[in-house]
Each structure stands twice: as C-alpha cells, then as structure tokens.
Amino acid sequence: MTFDNVIEGHSWDDITRQIAEKTPEEVREALSPGMMDSGGTDIDRFISLVSPAADEALEEIAQRAQLITEQRFGRIVGLYAPMYLSNSCTNSCLYCSFNASNQIDRETLSVEQAVSEARHLHDEGFRHILLVSGEDLKAVNLNYLKEVVSSLRPLFDSISIEIYPMETDQYRELAQSGVDGLIIYQETYNKDLYAQVHEAGKKTDYRWRIETPERGGAAGFRRIGLGSLLGLDDWRTEAVYLAMHARHLMRKYWRSQVTISFPRLRPAVGGYEPPCPVSDRDLVHMLTALRVFLPDAGILLSTRESKEFRDNMIPLGVTSMSAGSCTQVGGYTGNSATAGQFEIADHRTPEEVAETIKNIGYEPVWKDWDAAFIR
C-alpha cells in the first residue's frame, strides 16, 4: 500500500476540522509522559500537538523536543551544502524561480564544472553534498547524474540528491553509483491546491510525486527526506500529512532514516506571494511537534532562514544545517549570473556557522557517513 492509498481515507478538510476542534484537555493528554517516552504512534495525538489548542503549550512542547533530540542525537549538528547542477525545468510551479515560464538564463553544469564547484565546497570543509536540479531530462539525465556522482565520490563521504522524481530502477542505479540520500518535497499535500500551483509539466501528477519517496525506499537509499513548502497552505494540516507520511515510510522502509525539511517560501523570480505565510512561532511549533512525534527523524534547516532563527533552533530539534549556500547554478565558483532558486537569508560562511554552533555548545559535524558503506 502506498501513501497515496493511505490518505485516500482522509480528506484535507476533515483533518483541518479535527485540528480546529482539539481541546486543551486533549493537548494535555497528548503531552502525557507515556506518549513522550517513545514518540507516538497515534496520529490523533499529533493532531492535538499541532492544534491551536496547543499554542499555549508551545514552551512545554519545545522543552520535550530539546530533551528528546539531545537523548537521541546528542549535541551535534551535521553540516551539508546544496549544489545546483541545472536550473533548466519543464515544469511550471508558480512559487519557483526555475518555472519554465520565467525568463531567466538557463544553465547546466558540465561534469568538469560540477567537479570544480564541488571542490570549492570540499575546500570549505564539507563532506556531505546535496545535488539539486530542475526537471529537464534533456539537461539532466540518468547518465549525466551517474557521471557527476562518480566524479564527486572521491571528494565527498555522502552525496544526496534533490532532483526530479525517477523510477525505482533509476534510483537503484544512482544508489549503486554512490548516492545515499534522496530529498523530495511534496510541496503541498492538498490535492486541489497542488493542481493549482503546478500548472504544467510532469510535476502536475500528484500521485507520481507522492509515491516518489517509496520508490527511493525500494531502491535502498539510506535517507529519505520529506517536506512541505511552508506558505502554500495551512501549516498545521500540512504537518499532519507530513507526520503520517514519515510514519508510513518508517514502517514500510524501516532500513532508511526519514529526514524532514522545513522550507519556508522565500522571495523568488515570478513574485509569487505565499497565501498562508508561516511565522517564526508557527515554524517552531511545527518543528518541535514533529520532533516529539518522530524522535528519530533527521531535521534539516536551510539557509532560507535567518542566522538568528537558525541559531535559536539548534537546541530545539535540528540535526542538520546547510551553510554558506548558493542557489545559483555555478554560483560557488562565481562563474554564473543565473537567477538563484530563491533568496537565502543566512549569509554566513560555513566556518562562521560552525563557529557559532560550537559557541552555543554543540559540535559541528562535517562527516557522518563513509563511502565504504557503498561499494
């Protein structure tokens, strides 16, 4: 059974209503020690945790999140960097600079250029890299990706991808080439809204998208990353779907670690205005509630967020951060004038981020994987 089958029994409006109807008593019950000791398997309790009725319990949820994170992960923060391979895209996503309808310069790195960009990141200390691209099979196909990955393997211990959805066999080939992590955002779990914001291209297929993490799990990726774009719809309902999705994957592909990202929409080419802006308080609520519900999930926070916010979030559940990011194709070596995917908000160098992590009593971890796991 895929996650799309699982959510057939739930309607967006129904879950939104359940969230609204939660009472402070139900929140107190959800925060009872029995549930907190081992996370929670009951989605109804998670619904209580993210409900408006839980707003007053935010400090308590945050303290639980800190306790659980420290126990499960200790005082460490993994560091990674995204690297954009291509901004060519055949999709039209209203919120994204790479939207095929936007008049921007399109560029795809050659394998040599990719190695040169990657070397820059390697020299800054990174050993975990995230390869990002738009969806354009002419620009970025499987053979190209395999060649890039093989060329980067001597430089990096861990290589993840955040590209377009692929078939299981293709993922398997990438896994064998040395990719160990897959990130694929559903953008929004609301089917109606999904159809509205994805106007053209392969990405219009909701089911193809939502079943992608399962194809990744079947292909053997060690980490599978999920996320909703925050700002598209009500964050509380998105969080409930996200929690259900993560639980589903953890049970079905129990050998893979599930990670969750919290991409708040940022200004981008096209000038899309998010209809449901998510405040700092909302994001803290969502992230900490998910940590309490999913004690072992990796939680990623990108440079979309400001340095002040990121620093304050470290003790609340974050396990990995990007640093020194550039969302332009070829942007690290300064050879590109293309538009970035979105504006970043934390402009510190990786070294500065690492130093701050140390100053607040955590260890920045550059390497937490070894290529020897994969032949």
Partner 1 sequence: MDKPLVIGGHTFTSRLLMGTGKFSSPEVMKEALQESGTEMVTVALRRVNIHDPGDSILSNVGRDRYVLLPNTSGARDAEEAVRLARLARAAGGGDFIKLEVTPDPNYLLPDPIETLKAAEILVKDGFTVLPYIHADPILAKRLEEVGTATVMPLGSPIGSNRGIRMRDAIEIIIEMANVPVVVDAGLGAPSHAAEAMEMGADAVLVNTAIAVAGDPAAMARAFKKGTEAGREAFIAGLGKPRKKAEASSPLTGFLR
Residues at the site binding partner 1, with contacts judged by CB under 8 A: 70-76, 157, 222, 250, 254-257, 296, 358, 361-363, 365, 367-370, 372-373, 375
Looking at beta carbons only, is 85 or 249 nearer to partner 1?
Answer: 249
Place of tokens 């990674």: 80
Looking at beta carbons only, is 69 or 325 nearer to partner 1?
Answer: 69
Minimum distance, C-beta of residue 70 to partner 1, in the bound complex (Å): 5
What CA–CA distance (Å, rounded) separates 328 from 238?
28
Left (φ > 0), alpha (ψ -120 to 50) or beta: where does 125 sit? Answer: left
Q: How many residues does the chain have?
A: 375
Minimum distance, C-beta of residue 353 to partner 1, in the bound complex (Å): 15
Looking at beta carbons only, is 256 or 338 nearer to partner 1?
Answer: 256
Looking at beta carbons only, is 217 or 263 nearer to partner 1?
Answer: 217
Minimum distance, C-beta of residue 310 to partner 1, in the bound complex (Å): 17
Minimum distance, C-beta of residue 253 to partner 1, in the bound complex (Å): 10
Buried b (16+ CB within 10 A) or exposed e, 161-178: bbbbbbeeebbbbbbebb
Neighbours of 302 (CB within 10 A): 25
Looking at beta carbons only, is 130 or 294 nearer to partner 1?
Answer: 294
Minimum distance, C-beta of residue 251 to partner 1, in the bound complex (Å): 10
Distances from the Cα of 185 to the Cαs of 262, 340, 365, 374, in angstroms?
10, 18, 25, 25
